[in-house]
Structure 1
Amino acid sequence: MASIVSLKTHDGRDISYVDEVKGQGGMKDVYFSPNRDYVVAFFRDKQDPGAKERLILIADKFRERIYSQEGGAYWKDLFCWPTAVVEHQGRLGVVAPFYNPNFFFAVGSRNGDSLGIKGREKEGKWFASAKNRNTFIDPKELGDWSSHLKIGLMIARAVRRLHAAGLAHSDLSYKNVLVDPSRGAACVIDIDGLVVPGKIPPLVAGTPDFIDPLVMMTQRLPLGDPQRVLPSIRTDQHALSVLIYMYLLYRHPLRGPKVHDVG
């Protein structure tokens, strides 16, 4: 049986987690709290010296900026925002709320959940493709076009709120936005990679299919080159447009057969 690890957050609060990896992202290992009311996600690789300071800003100052103002409670369902920063055995991590239950598959895939996805997170990729919808996902999970329209509205509101606070997500994709078409709900995750233009630089270029073409065109330029385009509010807007298009039309707006100019 896995042991319980207890430690203190950056602001002195006591937390604990079960010492068993329950999930893995591109950069982090995820552990559940004993009561499954929050998770602790540790970066697998050693972070640069400014990483802890950046994460504390996100968990404290920027979280306060979103939630403490009038109407702040509205955003709690639209973001899975880190609440604290921790360090343990040389690894840096963040504490974040557990996802709402409706963002886990209740039925899963067709034919008695043949893909074994019941209980897993509802990544948007399952719902943004006509093939996945028609071939794999159980109809009880699919919702309808109007619920997808509501999903697009929820994501747009969340992204607009980030931008209004001077922040950019930097990696919007169907991997970093959980959706529940049966209810028309959405939740933006991986907030620990936020970009503050001019202060906190982007950690990643983005996810394929959602990266702004200008980022791709200039990625070979040196990092300090003024012509190089980095993830920002502007590139978030590109990724948001792609996401909404895919949830409404079930295909990527820029993918398809090559058409040669005959003019």
Structure 2
Amino acid sequence: MSGKIIRLTAHDGTPVEFVDEVKGAGGLKDCYFAPDRSYVVLFYRDKVDAVGKDRLQSIVGRFKDNIFNQAGGAYWEKLYCWPDRIVEWNGRIGITVPFYARHYFFEHGSKSGDMLKIKGREKEGKWFASANNRAKFLDPRELGTWATHLRMCLMLARAVRRLHMAGLAHSDLSYKNVLVDPVGGNANIIDIDGLVVPGKFPPDVVGTPDFIAPEVVASARLPRGDPNRKLPSIQTDCHALAVLIYMYLLYRHPLRGRKVHDQDTTRDEELSMGGRALFVEDPKDASNRINPKGVRPSELPWADTGARPYTLTGPYLSPLFLRAFTEGLKNPQVRPTASEWESALIRTVDLLQPCINPACEQKWYVFDNSTRPCCPFCGTPFRGLLPVLNLYHATHKPGEFRPDNHRLMVYTNQSLYLWHASRSVAPNERITPEQAQRVGYFVLHSDKWWLVNERMPDLYDAGAKAAIPVGQKVELKHDQQILLAKGEGGRLLHVQMVGAR
């Protein structure tokens, strides 16, 4: 590093060092690196007013404490780049923020010898949410699989859910302010210093184009103090979250179709993203379908909603997309919450099936509940006998079980976890290391599917009326019932065998 090292004392009394060399510049701040690159210092270019200082004090103080100093708080360190100190230098206010984890930087970069010079740069989501960018520019080793994209979306939904639980809105969720790692299935929310608290801290920005909620776009020309002017909030975050998940799974924008509302491009943009926003896959109005003949070849087949419909995301995500981009466009109150997306993504992960075609780009797909499952990405049908496990939970009445609307697909080395065995355990930030260990796994041997018991003392074959001790296995058969755990909330598996020869 060529610049000299600046040494300061943060407002909390701790020492801060950074190299006097601007390493990056955003819309509002300049970025400087600590000498050891363990954190960055971001200085605001413009003067920060009293409300802004109060907001920053709250973000590095009580907001941070309420999230990170609670049960499971350490979990959030991998999902947020949260500001932790306030500094002043040369009359400017700044904050320190932890440096991004290594997997949020491009390892291989772009095609053709990194022609875009992105190797070593941070992974902005725009590279992975566009079919054109993925096909034309990125090294295939950077793309991940459809399964890792699902996990990436799950991490994002979980992080947004926690913000909203604390009464906070990000206000500018977009692929610029969410770093992603499609290879490892990770996501990290950045630019947290603009958090919105209704009635206390108003938004600094209205958002990023493509992710601004329709009501915000439609009222943007009104004066800021007008009661009809809509500003970023938890509800607008929910719109942006739905757009992000849709784009990370389907590589197209849910509102950008063929329909032209006005010959003036600025006015057309306002209408198509605002008051006349229309889902490109709206089942009742096909006027905004994407025209496959009007897009670049590199955008196909993803731009063809007939070839890649949103329904391929499965029975849990599809209804949320439909609600978010039909009724939810006009009525923010009915938009799916981050918690709903999190739950749907967890269940969708359990429906994943590996594609048997080694050349399949996406590698995984969601079981479509058919007797002849087929990969929607490459068209390869599943061959063999496929176990589908329907989950039921025990009620407080002995011997009574109720359906969970939750299925688990089986494939070789598929793991079974405690949250599958018991409804009282959830796979979220509160789970302990012991609870996170798998309790069993599935294996195909001699054309028979087996469940191997690793850590389930109550495993019981209800049909055969036989216990399956830890270390033993049980063969999966059609219409079989297997008890995973005793007591209220304990799960029962009902086995369906789908034949696809």
Question: Which TM-score band (shorter chain)?
Answer: over 0.9
CA distance in 2: counterparts of 1:259 and 1:232, whole angstroms: 29
- The equivalent residue for 2:193 is 192
- The equivalent residue for 2:349 is none
Q: Residue 150 of structure 1 contacts residue 184 of structure 1 at CA under 8 Å; is this kept in 2?
A: yes
3-state DSSP class of the match of 1:150? Answer: helix
- The equivalent residue for 1:21 is 22
3-state DSSP class of the match of 2:50? Answer: coil
Pairwise CA distance, 1:61: 0.8
User: Which region of structure 1 is more displaced relative to structure 2, 121-130 or 4-13?
Assistant: 4-13
CA distance in 2: counterparts of 1:247 and 1:71, whole angstroms: 27
- The equivalent residue for 1:87 is 88
Report the TM-score when normalising by structure 1: 0.97
- The yes-or-no answer on 1:52 pairing with 2:34 is no
Runs of 4+ with deviation above 6 angstroms:
259-263
Aligned residues: 263
- The equivalent residue for 2:211 is 210
- The equivalent residue for 1:111 is 112
CA distance in 2: counterparts of 1:213 and 1:128, whole angstroms: 20
- The equivalent residue for 1:69 is 70
% identity of equivalent residues: 64
3-state DSSP class of the match of 2:88? Answer: strand
Report the TM-score when normalising by structure 2: 0.51
Residue identity in the other structure for 1:197: P
Pairwise CA distance, 1:259: 6.2
CA distance in 1: counterparts of 2:69 and 2:191, whole angstroms: 20
CA distance in 2: counterparts of 1:262 and 1:202, whole angstroms: 35
- The equivalent residue for 1:38 is 39
Q: Residue 212 of structure 2 contacts residue 236 of structure 2 at CA under 8 Å; is this kept in 1?
A: yes
Pairwise CA distance, 1:262: 11
Q: Residue 52 of structure 1 contacts residue 85 of structure 1 at CA under 8 Å; is this kept in 2?
A: no
CA distance in 2: counterparts of 1:27 and 1:45, whole angstroms: 7
- Root-mean-square deviation over aligned CA pairs: 1.4
3-state DSSP class of the match of 2:37? Answer: coil
- The equivalent residue for 1:230 is 231
Task: Say which structure, 1 or 2, has more relative contact order (CA 8 Å, 6+ apart).
Answer: 1
CA distance in 2: counterparts of 1:136 and 1:69, whole angstroms: 42
CA distance in 2: counterparts of 1:52 and 1:16, whole angstroms: 21
3-state DSSP class of the match of 1:241? Answer: helix
- The yes-or-no answer on 1:152 pairing with 2:165 is no
3-state DSSP class of the match of 1:50? Answer: helix
Give 5+ residue unaligned stretches, structure 2. 262-284, 288-501
User: Which region of structure 1 is more displaced relative to structure 2, 147-156 or 162-171?
Assistant: 147-156
Residue identity in the other structure for 1:62: F
Return the structure number with greater helix share: 1
Pairwise CA distance, 1:53: 1.8
Pairwise CA distance, 1:44: 1.3
3-state DSSP class of the match of 2:136? Answer: helix
Residue identity in the other structure for 1:226: P
Residue identity in the other structure for 2:203: P
CA distance in 2: counterparts of 1:122 and 1:16, whole angstroms: 26
CA distance in 2: counterparts of 1:120 and 1:56, whole angstroms: 30
Kindly provide the CA deviation profile for residues 98-157 of structure 1, in whole angstroms up to 9, marking residues without a partner as x: 000000001100111111000000000000000100110001100011111111111100
CA distance in 2: counterparts of 1:239 and 1:60, whole angstroms: 27
Give 5+ residue unaligned stretches, structure 1. none
Return the structure number with greater strand share: 2
- The equivalent residue for 2:142 is 141
Q: Residue 51 of structure 2 contacts residue 201 of structure 2 at CA under 8 Å; is this kept in 1?
A: no
CA distance in 2: counterparts of 1:130 and 1:223, whole angstroms: 37
